Amino acid sequence: MFRIKEMDYLNPTIFRMVVEAPMVARSCQPGQFVIVRADEEGERIPLTICDYDRVAGTVTIVVQVIGAGTTLMGRMKKGDMLADFVGPLGQPSDLVTDDIAEVRNKKIVFIAGGLGTAPVYPQVKWLRDHGISADVIIGAKSKDILIMEDEFKDVAGNLYITTDDGSYGREGMVTKCLEDLVTKEGKIYDHCVSIGPMIMMKFVCQLTEKLGIHTVVSMNPIMVDGTGMCGACRCTVDGVTKFACVDGPEFDGHKVDWDEAMRRSGMYRDWEAEKRAAV
């Protein structure tokens, strides 16, 4: 059992949990994920790690209430116990494992959308802790659902906020912000990490391919079991079948078959809606 040390909502549908999990905290790296079960009857939910404290032995996850399992988790309180909190799983970010001298020479921009803002944070924080500055673009539909702005102010080189409705920051999609930064404001990037909704990552990749910016994306949205057993997270990368949970979750976004991945991401939508209505 794993105790919830902190629990708070960042917006009406997204909450943050800080969980006591010393063995996970000791080993995890930015880019990896955990499998969580709220109780013994609960479903296995793969959740990307948002932060960790090796000294305190805690791991932070940020979760959106979508299906039955996340609905149950969203009702939990500080002091409650999670049945399972397994990890770290998946491969760490390339920025963490590549030669640090090479990483220092990169001009890096992160593009985060919605819940994808959470897994971007540990990568930017890790870079900051190693003396490497990275720009961050965070997109949200409106100001009231924007998350983690203050946290990013502490770790990003430059932070750009965009809202679809123009209620805060720059108006428009994250792609418009990136294109403006490069074509109108003279910014130069050679490495992009984009994490968020599938459709956002697809259009970011279309733009960065045109701009000549190498782009890494996270295929976490299509993961189900998290161990390579179920096959639900199969995706085609450069013509080869990969499993997001064991080979990823991060891949070269310019080599992902986005149409296939987006079809796969919607496979369980009706089932999830049915299950959520029952809890």
pLDDT band at 156 (very low <50, low <70, confident <90, very high): very high
Q: Is the same domain home to 81 and 102? A: no
Give the separation between CA 16 and CA 118, rounded to whole angstroms: 9
Q: Pull the structure tokens for residue 200.
A: 């956002």
Q: Is the same domain home to 171 and 207? A: yes
How far apart, in Å, do the first and last CA atoms of the chain sit? 22
Here the CATH number for the domain that contains residue 133 is 3.40.50.80
What pTM did the predictor assign?
0.88
Count of domains forming the chain: 2
The answer to the question of residue 278 being in a domain is no
Q: What pLDDT is recorded for position 267?
A: 55
111 neighbors 194 (Cβ within 8 angstroms): yes
Segments forming the whole domain that contains residue 20: 2-89
**DSSP per residue over 76-132, as a string?**
--TT-EESEEEEEESPPPHHHHS-HHHHHT--EEEEEEGGGHHHHHHHHHHHHHTT-
Q: What pLDDT is recorded for position 271?
A: 47
pLDDT band at 68 (very low <50, low <70, confident <90, very high): confident
Give the separation between CA 177 and CA 169, rounded to whole angstroms: 10
